């Protein structure tokens, strides 16, 4: 995580993007380090949110255009991960996309949203609200220390 921190906002954007796509990562650590080193909280939250949402858009696109083989090979999701995400959609509907920030379940949810051809505007709005809320809570928590 130090390497992302060294690059400031660019590192935050990259770590946020990657955390929402292929690689397991924690943009929360990079955001916290930047905030503790007197970065602009509003700008940092916006950068983290934009990077993380863009990563989810990539997942959506893979789901929209891809296949199960691609999910397993490129994204490393098992058939079981995708099935579990589809079941969450069946249970909670599109509002489940507000939880796209949750580790382990969030990334498959965004892929399945693409598979199910959820309206992109609705997808983008719900994912953005959820991820923005998470980063705001994190920033307020860190700055309260």
**DSSP-assigned letter for residue 100:** T
Q: Which of 38, 113, 33, 24 is nearest to 75 (CA)?
A: 24
pTM (2 d.p.)? 0.85
Q: Is the pLDDT of residue 137 over 80?
A: yes
Query: What mean pLDDT value characterizes the chain?
Result: 87
Per-residue pLDDT, averaged over 133-145, amounts to: 96
Residues 6+ apart with CB under 8 A from 90: none
Cα–Cα dist 9/62, whole Å: 26
What's the pLDDT at 23? 67
Cα–Cα dist 115/131, whole Å: 21
Q: Is the pLDDT of residue 1 over 60?
A: no
Write the CA distances from 18 to 86, 94, 141, integer angstroms.
23, 23, 23
Write the CA distances from 138 to 100, 118, 119, 135, 144, integer angstroms.
16, 28, 29, 5, 10
Phi-psi region of 38 (alpha: psi -120 to 50; beta: other; left: phi over 0): left
Domain span holding position 128: 2-143
- Chain segment 110-124, per-residue pLDDT in tens: 988 998 899 999 999
What's the pLDDT at 84? 78
Task: Count up the domains in the chain and report the number.
Answer: 1
Write the CA distances from 2 to 8, 12, 13, 72, 101, integer angstroms.
10, 11, 14, 30, 22
């Amino acid at each position: 995580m130090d390497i992302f921190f060294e690059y400031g906002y660019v590192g935050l954007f990259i770590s946020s993007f990657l955390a929402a796509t292929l690689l397991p990562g924690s943009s929360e650590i990079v955001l916290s380090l930047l905030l503790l080193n007197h970065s602009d909280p509003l700008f940092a939250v916006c950068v983290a949110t934009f990077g993380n949402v863009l990563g989810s858009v990539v997942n959506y696109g893979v789901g929209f255009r891809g296949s199960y083989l691609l999910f397993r090979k490129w994204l490393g999701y098992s058939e079981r991960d995708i099935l579990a995400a589809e079941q969450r959609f069946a249970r909670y509907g599109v509002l489940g996309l507000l939880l796209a920030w949750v580790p382990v379940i969030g990334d498959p949810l965004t892929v399945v949203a693409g598979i199910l051809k959820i309206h992109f505007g609705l997808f983008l709005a719900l994912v953005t609200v959820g991820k923005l809320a998470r980063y705001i809570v994190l920033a307020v928590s860190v700055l309260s220390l």
